[in-house]
Structure formats: C-alpha cells, structure tokens
Structure 1
Amino acid sequence: MNGSRSNFTPADRSSSGPETPLASGSEGMLAPLLAPEPPSRPATGGPARLFSILGPVDHRRIELRNTAAPWRMVCALRIDTANGPFNGTGWLAGPRTVITAGHCLHNSAFASGGGGGWARRVTVIPGQSWNKQPFGAVVSTTFSCADPWLQTRDRAHDIGAVHLDDPVGERVGWMKYDALDPSALTRAAAVVSGYPEYAGSYEHLLVAKGPVRASLDGRLYYEIDTTDGQSGGPVWIGDVAAPTVVAVHGYEADATPAGVGPGVNSGALLTPDHLRLIQTWQGG
C-alpha cells in the first residue's frame, strides 16, 4: 500500500526509511466522570465525523492522569481548514509521527465549496487536560493519508499521519501498535480514548471500555461509547501498563452494516499493510 502526503496541497510522493522501534505506555488509571464544568470560552470548530453514545448511559470517563503513560501519548488535534476549524484525536506512533483518521486530514468538509481537500494545518497537543497543555503544542502543515482513503474513501483505510518537526515522542513516548488476527479480537475488551466534545469544549481526555463485536472487511466494531471529536483516537487492547493499538477510531453506529448488527461504533483495523505504511511515514 502506498500513501500520499500533503503540505497544504496533495502531492504524489512518499518516502521510506528504517523501521522505528515501538514503545508502549507504563501506567494509567481511569477516573470517575466529572460533573460538567462551565467552559471558560466557547467551543471552537466541529467534528470531522459524528459518533454515538450506544445506550441510555454514557460510559465514558475522564482520565485525570493525563501526564502518565499511555494517556499522555494521546493527542488533541485542532484542525484548521479552508472551511473553518475542526477537532479530532491522534496518537503518537513514533518520535515525530501522530496517527489519526484519514478524514481528519483529507475531507470534503474541509474544502470551501466541497470537492475534498487537505487540512491547512494541525495543532497537536499531547496529554491535554482542560486548559492545561503539560507537553506544549506543536503545529504541523505536513500530512499523509493511505491512498485508498484519498482515492475511494475506503473506510477500511481511513488512516493518516501528522508529521512533526519537533520530536515530541522522545519526551512523552509513543504507543505500541500491531496487526492482530481479527478472529482473536472478537469479544476481546477494547479501550477507546480521545478528545470529544464535553462540557462545551474539546479539552478533556475521555476513555471508555467495551467488548469487540466483530471484524468485517477491514473494520473493527465495538460496543464503546464515543462522540464527535474522538475521530482518529487509538483503539487498544491489553492491560493499561502495556496497551497495543489495533485500530483507528472513526465511525458512528449508523455506519455499521446490517450484518454486524446495531449498537456498535467502529474504526479502521490495522493490517500488515498499514504497519508498513506507518513505518514509511516514520521514515519521512
């Protein structure tokens, strides 16, 4: 699989490099959901795609240990486009590479007048919590997306990368990721984390856990609550001390095929082709 890169505008170029070692988080703790806080300023922008709470109860929780691994490796994304600001989520996969959903970087909603377009710039904020940015913020104008996403909007390849000049991952670490046997993931417990809208802002790291329902046609389906802004967040399995990202979150229950059944959200399942693509992006 090839990937295309943009520096404001699409370009047909990709580069290869040596494989980068993977690193995983070491600790973390879920905290009870806090009561809504009045925002100090209006929320800006909108989601790259909508998501859904699957039942009458919102099972997401705010993660308070945002400066501990692996939570500090999850990043809030502020996406500037020709059609205004949007919000999303990403996760560090290397010192200078943030993985997110392709539709957070190349989306028809980003182009004024439609037709599809690249984001202009993305601000990456690792481990944000409310108005605190303990590891600072990094602005990038260089992005990549999997070619099947750019060419046909294939949701199984809705994956992209934000390339950073600043090696933020050397300070906060990066997440382990892998392409696992889809049959082994069914009914496994998975976790989705990210920066959705909450209490009038996109500044809280929210986390939820639930079972994987199915894997079909390159997508993973799970019974985990999500809302707008969580697009691009890591879907991981395993203990919090050693999580492994297996998918990139991206879609609401309405995007679930009838064969899978109602009441699940979904993301692009990482495949061996995706792993090679991420390694290529890291080399760039």
Structure 2
Amino acid sequence: MTRDLHTAVSNQPDELAALAQEQAVFQGPSEGVQGTPAQGTPDGLEAVEGYQRPEYDNIPAETWTPPTAPLPDIGEASYGPAPHAETVHGPDDRVQIADTTNYPWRVHASLLITAADNSRWIGTGWFIGPHTLATAGHVVYIKNSGVAGRDGWVKSIQVMPGRNGATLPFGSVTSTNFRTVTGWTGSGDENFDYGAIIIPTELGSTTGWFGIGVWPDADLLKTTGNISGYPGDQPTGTQWYAGRGISSVNPLKVYYDIDTAGGQSGSAVYRLHNGGRYGIAVHAYGGATTNSGTRITRAVYDNLVAWKA
C-alpha cells in the first residue's frame, strides 16, 4: 500500500468568514441523487414500520447499559472506551431494518476497519457516488490513540453495503484509498471530523447513493434528521434506524437527539427534501443530551464532490 492513496486536503481556513454570506444565498444544492424517490412521513421521517417520532414528555428516564460489542467502535481508537460518538438518551427509539436490500437502506454500509497495528474496529459509511462513501474522519485516520503503531491512516476497510447480519446482499469490497482533511489529521479537531472511502469498483451504481446539501441555520432547525447505521450493541451486522428534529446548529456542527450507539461513527445525518435524500452532516459524536455530526458546509460539500471525482 502506498501513501499516495491517502489524501488529507486543507480544511479551508477562510470557511468561517464565508459562512455568514454563504448561508444567505446558498439554497441546498445536491449531488448525485440516485434511487427511488423518498416516501417519508409528513414530518420528514423515513416510513419505517413500527417507528414513530418519539415523544419524551412525562416519560421517566431509563437506565441504558449497552452489552459488550464483539468489536469496538472505531471512535474508541482515538478517544478511548467512552460514549464519545454514540448515545441513547432515555428510551431507546431505534428500530431494526428488516429488509436492507431496498433503497435507501442499501446505501448504508457496515465497515470492518483494520488499523495500522492490525487491530480491528467497526463503523458505518454511506454512498455519495458510484465509488465513494462519506464517513467520519476518525474512521479513516486514527488520532491520539496512545497505542504504539496505531495512529495514522487505517490499513484497510471492508465495505459491506446493506449488510443484514451474516448476509451480504451486495457482497463486499475492500478499500485502501481514503480521504480526510488536515483539520483532523493535524490536530484532531472534531469540527473537521469527516472523510471518504474510495472503493476500487462502482458498487454504488448498484446500491444507489444519497445527495448532499448545504442549508442555512433557519432551514436546518426546521428539519427532521434521519440516521441509519450499524450499532455494535445490537446483533452483529444489523442495521438500525431512528429520526428526530434537529436540536441546534453552529457553523461547523449539527446537534440532534437521535438515538445511536457505538459502531455508527460515520453514519449519514440526512433529510428528505423534494423526493430525494440529502446528507446534512456526518455523525461523529455523542453528549449528555444530544449527539452531533460534522456539518456539511460549502467547504465540506466541495471536498466531498471532489472526492467523488
């Protein structure tokens, strides 16, 4: 494996200065929407059997202790075994996707990650084009692990779209070709925790992919976020979905009270819009009351589009 397969581009330091002007004029472009039209509920959730928007009023808090996962979430490689990236808040609202062969579920891929020291980890990615998946930066590049020989670009990632337990309806493909930005590789800044996996086939032409879009704060705050991925606290390789309104935003992050668990690092945070599905953030972190993802700003959008090429 040669180092030139891995690229960390600049995270465009003038991005913050441009955001205020950008959000006044940029109205949510998309790239490469593929698959059947979105048939969601009126409030922007996916139409998943058995799933309803959670109502937390007057529901007592519950103690939630995840069982031991067979393999740890890739985020633990950089942050240790804490719920840094995935948290269930109170009642667990996630539902399992029974048939992952349908669009949009086949766009989400279970990831088996082999680090530079040959340790193995799990994560999630999602197709944004025929041979490109978006994911978290810490999925492709481990930072500050404290373990000799572990930091840096991961050795390989096995991509399994639409995985359903032991069943791989679209097979799998292994990649050694990754992308992220210097804001992550240089300083491990969570504001720049996003990346991409480039696969050596065009498997995305079979699965379909999501668009990506940039929207202003006011629009995102009225948006329902959807997340589906491969949590390690559930049966190995099963896909789980949850959705809820966006709680808050800042220039580089999106916050939401959508239940996730370890293994979903890199999942799409996406919205339904005009019959399509568009990523608005890359899920990467947890918190006491909300989880969060790296926001798709114009700079992130431009990098993802470039990596698709």
If the length of structure 1 is used for normalisation, what is the TM-score?
0.82
Is 1:30–2:48 an aligned residue pair?
yes
Deviation at residue 107 of structure 1 after TM alignment: 1.2
Of Structure 1 and Structure 2, the greater strand share is in 1
In structure 2, what residue type is equivalent to 1:61?
A: V
Q: Which secondary structure does the structure 2 equivalent of 1:47 belong to?
A: coil
For 2:118 and 2:147, locate their aligned partners in 1 and report how far apart those are by CA, in whole Å. 5
Greater mean alpha carbon deviation, residues 121-130 or residues 178-187: 178-187
Greater mean alpha carbon deviation, residues 71-80 or residues 154-163: 154-163
Is 1:253–2:287 an aligned residue pair?
yes
Is 1:172–2:207 an aligned residue pair?
yes
Corresponding position of 1:182: 217
For 1:163 and 1:154, locate their aligned partners in 2 and report how far apart those are by CA, in whole Å. 23
Deviation at residue 275 of structure 1 after TM alignment: 1.3
1:1-284 matches, cutoff 5 A: 7=2, 22-26=32-36, 29-32=47-50, 44-49=70-75, 50=83, 51-55=86-90, 57-81=91-115, 82=117, 84-108=119-143, 112-113=147-148, 116-201=151-236, 203-238=237-272, 242-254=276-288, 263-283=289-309
Task: Report percent identity of matched pairs.
Answer: 27
For 2:248 and 2:162, locate their aligned partners in 1 and report how far apart those are by CA, in whole Å. 30
Could you say if the C-alpha distance between residues 86 and 170 of structure 1 is closer, same or farther in structure 2, counting changes exceeding 3 Å? same
Deviation at residue 67 of structure 1 after TM alignment: 0.9
For 2:3 and 2:166, locate their aligned partners in 1 and report how far apart those are by CA, in whole Å. 28
Greater mean alpha carbon deviation, residues 239-248 or residues 160-169: 239-248
* Structure 1: segments with no counterpart, 5+ residues: 1-5, 15-19, 34-41, 255-262
Question: RMSD between aligned alpha carbons?
Answer: 2.5
Greater mean alpha carbon deviation, residues 149-158 or residues 108-117: 108-117
For 2:183 and 2:93, locate their aligned partners in 1 and report how far apart those are by CA, in whole Å. 33
In structure 1, what residue type is equivalent to 2:126?
A: W
* Structure 2: segments with no counterpart, 5+ residues: 10-29, 39-45, 52-67, 76-82
Greater mean alpha carbon deviation, residues 229-238 or residues 186-195: 186-195
Deviation at residue 25 of structure 1 after TM alignment: 3.7
In structure 2, what residue type is equivalent to 1:234?
A: A
Greater mean alpha carbon deviation, residues 20-29 or residues 131-140: 20-29
